[in-house]
Amino acid sequence: MVIKYPIIVEGKYDKIKLSSLFSAKIITTDGFGIFNNKEKLSLIRQIAKKDKIILLTDSDGGGHLIRSHIKTAIPSDKLINLYIPRIEGKEKRKITPSKEGILGVEGIDADKLREMLLPYSDEGTEKEPSEITKADFYALGLSGRDDSKSLREKVLKKLNFPLNMSANAMLQAVQILFTKEEFEQLAVSCQHSDS
């Protein structure tokens, strides 16, 4: 399967995993090295001038920081933000789990990665972002209210998304994954659940 756009991941083991599954241009951030590597950030900016870039970092705090840093350097219309599920476990090559005890990109099931990247491959049909808007988030209680954060967390848990996603990042992700009707049903079901 050939992926149409370059993919940014954190480290070499993420790159090895994706390279075993896809034919793609894969750029590593070298973990937190991206914060001090002006040349690598400049390269990413240059690539984004020509095409979209898929951003696929781990669902932990470190992945969130790296994603946020890259998002400040690249126009939002050039980024495809994909989020791996937040799954407890440890990578096979590691002796102990990560600090947060969740799998990174390298530990995610190959079928799940294929499913996530299929729309951006030569075999898939890329989805246009759905019409879910910030106004919809407000109407569903996901922003602008006292209990919005707790409701967003319920939805994020149900989706296995990182719990530290901002409302804007969450909006971008659900625009890629859901129709407006599908997402409204999901959000309403979370409003009525106790967990």
Q: What mean pLDDT comes out for the span 96-112? A: 86
Amino acid at 45: R
The token pair that represents 56 in the structure block = 């696929």
pTM: 0.73
CA dihedral 160, 35, 44, 107 (to 10 degrees): -30
Q: Check: CB of residue 3 under 8 Å from CB of residue 80.
A: no
3 phi, psi to nearest 5 deg: -95, 130
pLDDT tens profile 26-74: 999 999 999 998 888 888 888 898 889 999 999 888 999 999 999 999 9
User: 7-120, what's its fold?
Assistant: Dna Topoisomerase Vi A Subunit; Chain: A, domain 2 (3.40.1360)
Domain ranges for the chain, please list them: 7-120, 134-191
